[in-house]
Homo-oligomer: A and B are copies of this chain.
Amino acid sequence: MIDYPTLLQTFKQLLKDNGLKFTNQREVILKMLYEHDDHFTPEALHHLIKDNYPQLNVGIATVYRTLGLLEDNGIINSISFDAKGKKYEFGLKKHHDHLICTRCGKLIEFYDKMIEEQQKLIAKNFHFLMTDHTMNILGICETCQKANKPQEKI
């Protein structure tokens, strides 16, 4: 995976190329997503940053604006799992797919060689030059299954 100094360099160049400015807020948001191999809602990320960099006093609006910026440039990815918004993860890492719990929103990453191979085959059969793919398996995670064993809501 890309190392942090290189990532930072790339990010700075990207900003420069677009007449944008490199700010502490932008760096901290990038860094948090790089360092944590996890998926964050904008709000969770905001909390995390406030805890780690209280003196910066980052506003939630800046978090949203920076996430949009990073996503537009392919540095992070977002996943929509329900009506309660998106989750973001650092994007420049090994390809993987997701299991998403539709009750608690938990995301689990997985990689399956057979599926990757099969996708290549499908693309080939349709004479498609595959550049990317996403797969989400939606369902109910083990914890939620146990927690809600008796079906109550009709």
Contacts and interface: CB of A to CB of B under 8 A. Distances in A.
Interface string A38-53: 0000000000000000
A153 interface: yes
Interface in A83-136: 83, 85-86, 99, 101-102, 108, 110, 112, 114-115, 118-119, 122-123, 126-136
A85 B84 CA distance: 7
Number of chain copies forming the complex: 2
27 contacts: A20-B154, A69-B153, A78-B82, A80-B82, A99-B123, A101-B128, A102-B131, A110-B122, A110-B126, A112-B122, A114-B114, A114-B118, A115-B115, A118-B118, A119-B135, A126-B142, A127-B142, A128-B139, A128-B141, A129-B139, A129-B140, A131-B138, A131-B139, A132-B138, A132-B139, A133-B135, A134-B138
Interface of A: 14-15, 18, 20, 69, 72-73, 78, 80-83, 85-86, 99, 101-102, 108, 110, 112, 114-115, 118-119, 122-123, 126-142, 145, 153-154
